[in-house]
Structures are given as C-alpha cells and as structure tokens.
C-alpha cells in the first residue's frame, strides 16, 4: 500500500498500545471480506511492526478494502477517532481520484469527423446556447425564440425570479441541440471550481448505458460513475445536499413514471428495479436533499411534468446569430477560414437559418472544412443545401432510439405527407388528432423531427406539434414528391396527390412561398442525394420527377418580348435550382435553350455567386451577360489597393477582387461569350485585373461595357495590359 491513506493508517497503528495492536491483529482473521482472502493466524504471529501488517493487508485484501477493514476494526475497538481520521483521508483521496476521473472523461471528447486519436477540448469548442426557463404548460417554441427568461450554464442552478432553487432541473432539447455538450460544460466547470461549487460531488449517469440494468440501488448508480475506485458511500451519502445527480439521455430509458408511493425506496443502498430507484429519487423519497439535473428530448417531458413537483424546466433553443458566428470561429480555429465559411453560410438563408441547431452548424462546418481543404475556396463548393440537410438527417437517424427499420420508413412516408399538406395550407402547427390520423403517434420517432407545444383552448389545454424548423418541414414536403411508395402501402384518398407539375406551376404563378420546397425538390433528384437518402435514411428516391423538372425549366416563360430577341434568363432563382441539382448534364440540358443572362439590382452573396458561377461554367451557349446595379460580397475582406501598385502585385489584387470568380467562370474552356455589361456595379481598381485577364484569354469577347466604375489610374493600366494581349479581340469598350 502507498499514498496518504497508508500513511494515515500507519500513524494510527503506531499510536496504538501494544495491547490494542495485538487485539487488532487478533480480530483481523475473522473479518468477512469479498473478493480477497484472510491473513492466516500463523502469518500474523510473524508480523510485529505496523508497516509489515499494512503490507500484508494490502496484498491480501487490496488497498481500498484494507482501509475499509481497518476502519471497521477501529470502530469495533471503540477507537472512533482513529476510524474517523482514516475515513476522512479515504473520502479526501476518493474525491481527488474521482475529480481526476471526471477530468479525463469530460474535458475532452471525440467528434464523428475526428481523426484517429484526435480529441477535442470542450473549453475550445463549447459555444453558449440560448437556454430559456419555461413553465410546464409552455414548451415547444421555435428554435431561437427567446421570449422566456434566459439562463446559461452559470445561472442554471441559481434561484429563479421567485427566489427558489429547484431541487430538480429538467433540461429539454431536441436531438442535436447540445444537451450532452452542455452537460460536459457543467462537468468541466465543476472540476475547475467555477460552477456548482456548492456540490462536493457531481455524478453524471448516461441513461443509454442503464437501459439493460435490472435491479440497482442509488449506491450502484453512483459506483458506475467511477468504477475503478471503492466509494466511501456512507460518508458521501451522509451529506446528500452536497450531491448533484445528472442523468443524460433520460428519454432513452422509456420508463413508466407512475408507481404507488409505498413501492418507492427510502434507502439508497436498497436494490430495486431501475424505474423504482429512479422514481424514488425524483419523487424525493430517497436522498431528498440532493439535487438532480435531467437532460431529455421532448418525448419524456409530459410524463416528467406529471411526476415532478417543480413549476419550471429549461429548454435549449439553439444558437443565437452571434453564437453561430462564434461557433464557426471555434470550429475552424483559423480566423480567415472561419470568416470565409461563415460569410458563405450567411449568404444562404436556408443554411444559415438551420444553423440555429448546433449539430447543423457542425454539419455545415464539417462539409465546408473539407471543401476548403480540397479547393482552398468555396465559390466552387460541390455540396448543395439539400445535401447538407441530408447529412444532418443521416446524423439524426444514427442517434435515434432503436426502432425497427421498416417502422421508421413507414413513419417517414407519413411524416412527408403531413409536411406537404402543411406547406400547401400555410400550416406549421398540427393538432394531436392530425398526428394520430396520420399514424405518427410514436413518441420516440416523433420527437426527432417535431416539437410538442401546449396551448390553451377555451377552458381546456391541448397539445400541438410543429417541425423542429420550418426548413425541415419544407425538405420533408419536397421528399413527399420523390419518395418511392413502399410495397404494401394502401392508398388514402385523404393524402395529397404527388403532382410535381401542380407544385411547379403554383410556385411560378402565385405561390412564391414554395421557393425553398421547390429548390430542395431539385436537390433531391441529384444522384448524390439519392445515395445519401438510401444509405443514411433508408428511403428510396425516385428519379422519375427529373423529367418534369427539366421540362418546366426549359419551357417556363423566358425573359423576352419578341421571338427574335435573345432568350435570356432574368432571375437568380434558375441558377439556384440548377446548383441544387449539381449535375452537369441536367444543367446543360436546361441552359441549352438560353443564350443570355441579365440580372438587375441583386446583392450577390457568396452562395449566390457559387450558384451563378456553377451555371455559367456549364453554359457553352452563353453569348451575353448583363449585370446592372449588382453588388458582390467578397470571399476575403477587401483592402484598399495601394497606390502605384507594382505590376507583380496585380495578380494578387485580381485574386482578392470580388469579380474574380465571375470572370473566371465566364472565361471557362469552351466559353462563347461575346458581350459583357457591368453597369453601376461599383467596380474599383481591384476588379480591373480580373477583367484584364478575361480580355486576354477570351477571344470571343468583343463587347465590354463598364458603366459608372471607379477604376482609377492603376485600374486603367491593368485593363490596358489585358487589351494589349494577342488573345484580346475586343471591338467595343464603353
């Protein structure tokens, strides 16, 4: 034996009289010990010094058990001061080792995309979430709704407005909202002494690991938290007000939370069925002075509300706009890459809005990190909005509570029908009867995609449901039109008809609110999306609607008032729809019907530019491009060009020009562009290099208009350098 405990025991034995020392040795062989063997009397006769006796005890019983035996024998001998002193040291030693164990388990973690052996720091990655305190009859708000009292991990265990610190706190959040990460943050700050300092012990229990437990006591549950150490249970449980129990993934247990009170336990050492032991803690019949934090999905919220006496719970609503940007910087660790990735995402309303969900922010960052690694810029990003959302859904499927795969597929078909019906009817709230009529009343699956919300109706109370985000409802609505029907599915006259043409025509003529649904529909018929749906979600997507989508884009009214005029595309929407398909042959088939593009008064975000450049690169028949009063967001922060810029710096200035990606796309191999008009687009000196390169490398370009630009002297010189190149065939410059 070694360490402080053995030193204290040695001091205790050395302080005994010879008579007491002999009595201690005499009692030792009669000790009942599990997992070890007693020291024989003959061996004890040879032991004459306390240090030798401690060594024998350690070898025979193990260090932890030896200390427990010594404490027990001292109490029998009425040497209570010695027993108390050793016990104090044992508790101190246990707490130190337990704290070290928590630090190892919680301060670092692995993500799904981590390299082998790579651990991430909670301190470096954790980003503050919006967490709201709500009453039990108020839940299911849209992510980002901060109308309720907000709390943080620092104020989670502080008194609420009524001055009360609830003994039981329920932390609610849909899958991927950051419950487990928040718990890691709490555990980390407890170890560091910056949070929960009122607790001597914080025991975190992962309920997914308890699912198959049968009979357990509270002592058994605590022992699971630090399995390598013998726990001084009596001393720890003797101060229950100093203990915080945390239960993560509580909904995974699926336990009934209603039992007669006389069946509940009052003894923390008594082993009972798992549900009885947990309910005893929640109903405060065992360790009533302790505190409890329960992290759960919304599925278990209603039953918990009926079981607990508290008035409030707290709900994770996701990332605020500022937190989304902070998360990107924490993820990348490189300010330049983080800035590019965030501004690219910020320019995509659908993705940016979905990034309120922490795991969606992680998904987007993971995809964009790979894109930056492979291409060093995002304007040639190969991943569409649809594909990123499919990655997120695939993550949800991997983290679902175990269900039969067949049941899941049937559920998703019905869910898509509900989503589409809601989109057509401008409906985002669904009553309980609608959920039941659709056959969706499966709480564990339902809580993956829908939030439950309590509403007052007349004198009563009803539950309504909404998708965890509007854009997810729009994705499922789009999936409704392309999912293959399963064998054995019975047609229902109440279900919306899968008429893709009616959807497209309604969008074109009167229902602009269908924009996201239609865009995601185009993305779903991309072969990669079909593959993701099959492997990640298990849904078969039909490619049959592709022909309807192709025909619609080819034949919808074009931007022309006379048959002899150039067939122009006059909206950015077409580029976004084509970008979502992300398939060259499809894009080329559509663009073959057009020879020009004309955009006016458009603020082109990085995502808009990626979509536009993707289309132009596949557009061999593009003859004219006109942009009037358009502005370009930049991939890199723009700096004022230095006066008298040396010639060798022109190329660098060109690369930082927001016009560079467009010029690069317009000059793609096989380009037939003849006319380019950039009028009132705020051109500056930095854009001249990109234009000069285009002039020098695209002999088909014969007409260039640069209205209302501020090219400056250096800009004119760079433009002239392009005009002097042999490849320049320009005839008109205005």
The total of other beta-carbon atoms located within 10 Å of residue 123's CB is 14
- Counting residues of the chain whose pLDDT is more than 70, the rounded percentage is 84
**Residues 322-358: pLDDT tens digits?**
999 999 999 998 888 899 899 989 988 899 999 999 9
pLDDT reported for residue 73? 87
CA 174 to each of CA 394, 469, 594: distance values in angstroms, whole numbers, following the listed order? 15, 11, 46
pLDDT reported for residue 60? 76
pLDDT reported for residue 39? 67
pLDDT reported for residue 308? 83
The total of other beta-carbon atoms located within 10 Å of residue 373's CB is 9
**Residues 207-229: pLDDT tens digits?**
888 855 578 999 999 988 876 66
Give the SS3 label for residue 245: strand
Strand 624-628 relative to strand 631-632, pairing: unpaired
631 neighbors 660 (Cβ within 8 angstroms):
no
Confidence of residue 657 (pLDDT cuts 50, 70, 90): confident
Q: What is the torsional sign of CA 365, 367, 368, 370? A: positive
Does 203 score more than 90 pLDDT? yes
Residues 6 or more apart in contact with residue 672 via CB below 8 angstroms: 620, 621, 622, 623, 700
Does 146 score more than 50 pLDDT? no
Which range scores top for mean pLDDT: 145-149, 162-166, 334-338, 483-487?
334-338
Does 302 score more than 90 pLDDT? no
Which class for 175: exposed (0-12), middle (13-18), buried (19 or more C-beta within 10 A)? Answer: buried
Q: 127-141, 190-204, 237-251, 365-379: which has the minimum mean pLDDT?
A: 127-141
Spatial separation of the C-alpha atoms in residues 657 and 694, rounded to whole Å: 13
**Helix, strand, coil percentages in the chain from 3-state DSSP, rounded to 5:** 50, 15, 35
Q: What is the mean pLDDT of residues 462-472?
A: 86
Q: 42-51, 74-83, 496-505: which has the minimum mean pLDDT?
A: 42-51
- Counting residues of the chain whose pLDDT is more than 90, the rounded percentage is 33
Spatial separation of the C-alpha atoms in residues 461 and 527, rounded to whole Å: 46
Does 200 score more than 70 pLDDT? yes
Q: What is the mean pLDDT of residues 42-70?
A: 79
Tokens representing residue 436 in the block: 């039941």
Residues 6 or more apart in contact with residue 601 via CB below 8 angstroms: 628, 629, 630
pLDDT reported for residue 319? 94
Question: 557-733 is classed in which CATH architecture?
Answer: Alpha-Beta Horseshoe (3.80)
Q: What is the mean pLDDT of residues 461-488?
A: 85
**Residues 571-592: pLDDT tens digits?**
999 999 999 998 899 999 999 9
pLDDT reported for residue 558? 53
pLDDT reported for residue 640? 44
**Residues 401-456: pLDDT tens digits?**
555 455 777 888 899 999 999 999 998 889 888 999 888 888 778 888 888 776 65
**Residues 616-637: pLDDT tens digits?**
999 999 999 999 999 887 755 5
Tokens representing residue 595 in the block: 């020879």
Which range scores top for mean pLDDT: 57-66, 256-265, 349-358?
349-358
Q: What is the mean pLDDT of residues 157-186?
A: 85
Placement of tokens 């008594």 in the chain: 270
For the domain made up of 122-318, give the CATH fold. Answer: Rossmann fold (3.40.50)
pTM: 0.79
**Residues 186-195: pLDDT tens digits?**
999 999 999 8
Tokens representing residue 82 in the block: 């010695």
Tokens representing residue 234 in the block: 């009596």
Beta bridge partners of 68: none
Beta bridge partners of 597: 569, 625
Q: What is the mean pLDDT of residues 522-529?
A: 89
Does 43 score more than 50 pLDDT? yes
pLDDT reported for residue 561? 45
pLDDT reported for residue 2? 52
Give the SS3 label for residue 729: coil
pLDDT reported for residue 163? 65
* φ, ψ (nearest 5 deg) of residue 427: -120, 125
* Three-point CA angle 591, 595, 599, nearest 5°: 90
**Residues 533-556: pLDDT tens digits?**
888 787 888 888 999 999 999 887
Q: What integer best gives the mean pLDDT of the chain?
A: 82
pLDDT reported for residue 160? 66
Q: What is the mean pLDDT of residues 262-283?
A: 91
For the domain made up of 4-106, give the CATH fold. Answer: Death Domain, Fas (1.10.533)
Q: What is the torsional sign of CA 348, 368, 589, 633? A: positive
Confidence of residue 162 (pLDDT cuts 50, 70, 90): low
Q: Which residue has the higher pLDDT, 44 or 130?
A: 130
Angle, in degrees to the nearest 10, between helices 321-332 and 358-375: 40
pLDDT reported for residue 38? 62
Residues 6 or more apart in contact with residue 228 via CB below 8 angstroms: 97, 101
Rg (CA), the chain: 34
Spatial separation of the C-alpha atoms in residues 223 and 712, rounded to whole Å: 75
pLDDT reported for residue 676? 93
pLDDT reported for residue 443? 77
Spatial separation of the C-alpha atoms in residues 92 and 89, rounded to whole Å: 5
């Amino acid at each position: 034996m070694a360490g402080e405990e053995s030193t204290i025991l040695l001091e205790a034995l050395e302080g005994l009289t010879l008579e007491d020392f002999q009595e201690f040795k005499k009692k030792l062989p009669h000790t009942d010990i599990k997992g070890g063997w007693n020291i024989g009397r003959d061996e004890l006769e040879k032991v004459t010094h306390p240090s030798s006796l401690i060594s024998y005890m350690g070898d025979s019983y193990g260090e932890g058990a030896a200390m427990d035996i010594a404490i027990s024998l001292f109490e029998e001998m009425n040497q209570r001061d010695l027993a108390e002193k050793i016990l104090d040291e044992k508790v101190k030693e246990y707490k130190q080792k337990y704290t070290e164990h928590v630090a190892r388990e919680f301060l670092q973690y692995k993500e799904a995309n981590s390299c082998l052996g790579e651990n991430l720091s909670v301190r470096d990655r954790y980003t503050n979430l919006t967490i709201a305190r709500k009453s039990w009859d108020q839940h299911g708000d849209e992510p980002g709704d901060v109308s309720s009292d907000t709390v943080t991990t620092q104020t989670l265990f502080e008194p609420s407005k009524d001055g009360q610190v609830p003994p039981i706190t329920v932390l609610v959040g849909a899958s991927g909202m950051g419950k487990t990460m928040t718990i890691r943050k709490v555990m980390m700050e407890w170890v560091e002494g910056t949070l929960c300092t009122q607790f001597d012990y914080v025991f975190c229990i992962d309920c997914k690991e308890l699912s198959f437990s049968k009979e357990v006591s509270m002592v058994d549950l605590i022992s699971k938290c630090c399995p390598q150490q013998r726990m001084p249970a009596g001393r720890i449980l003797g101060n229950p007000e100093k203990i915080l129990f945390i239960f993560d993934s509580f909904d995974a247990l699926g336990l009934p939370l209603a039992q007669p009170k006389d069946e509940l336990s009052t003894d923390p050492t008594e082993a009972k069925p798992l549900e009885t032991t947990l309910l005893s803690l929640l109903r405060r019949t065992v360790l009533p002075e302790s505190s409890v934090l329960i992290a759960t999905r919304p599925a278990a919220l209603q039953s918990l509300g009926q079981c607990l006496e508290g008035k409030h719970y707290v709900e994770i609503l996701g990332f605020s706009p500022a937190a989304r940007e902070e998360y990107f910087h924490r993820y990348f660790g490189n300010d330049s890459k983080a800035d590019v990735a965030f501004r690219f995402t910020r320019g995509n309303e659908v993705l940016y809005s979905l990034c309120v969900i922490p795991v969606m922010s992680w998904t987007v960052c993971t995809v964009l990190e790979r894109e930056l690694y492979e291409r060093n810029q995002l304007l040639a990003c190969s991943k569409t909005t649809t594909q990123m959302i499919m990655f997120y859904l695939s993550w949800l499927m991997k983290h679902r509570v175990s269900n039969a795969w067949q049941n899941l597929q049937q559920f998703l078909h019905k869910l898509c029908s509900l989503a589409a019906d809601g989109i057509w009817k401008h409906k985002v709230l669904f009553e309980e009867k609608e959920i039941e009529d659709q056959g969706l009343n499966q709480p564990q699956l339902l809580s993956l995609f829908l939030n439950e919300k309590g509403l007052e109706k007349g004198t009563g109370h009803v539950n309504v449901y909404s998708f965890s985000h509007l854009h997810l409802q729009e994705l499922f609505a789009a999936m409704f039109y392309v999912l293959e029907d399963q064998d054995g599915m019975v047609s229902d006259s109440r279900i919306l008809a899968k008429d893709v043409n009616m959807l497209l025509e309604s969008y074109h003529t009167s229902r602009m609110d269908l924009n996201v649904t239609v865009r995601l529909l185009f993305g779903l018929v991309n072969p990669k999306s079909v593959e993701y749906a099959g492997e990640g979600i298990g849904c078969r997507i039909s490619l049959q609607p592709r022909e309807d989508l192709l025909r619609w884009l080819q034949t919808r009214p074009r931007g022309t008032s006379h048959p002899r005029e150039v067939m122009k595309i006059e909206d950015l929407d077409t580029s976004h729809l084509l970008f979502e398909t992300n398939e060259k042959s499809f894009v080329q088939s559509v663009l073959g019907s057009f020879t020009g593009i004309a955009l006016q008064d458009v603020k082109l975000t990085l995502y808009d530019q990626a979509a536009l450049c993707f289309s132009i690169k596949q557009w061999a028949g593009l003859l004219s491009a006109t942009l009037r009063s358009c502005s370009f967001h930049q991939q890199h922060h723009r700096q004022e060009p230095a006066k008298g810029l040396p010639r060798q710096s022109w190329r660098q200035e060109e690369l930082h020009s927001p016009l560079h990606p467009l010029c690069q796309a317009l000059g793609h191999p096989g380009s037939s562009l003849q006319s380019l008009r950039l009028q009132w687009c705020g051109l500056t000196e930095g854009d001249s290099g990109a234009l000069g390169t285009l002039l020098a490398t695209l002999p088909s370009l014969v007409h260039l208009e640069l209205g209302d630009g501020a090219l400056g002297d250096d800009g004119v010189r760079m433009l002239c350098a392009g005009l002097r190149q042999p490849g320049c065939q320009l005839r008109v410059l205005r």
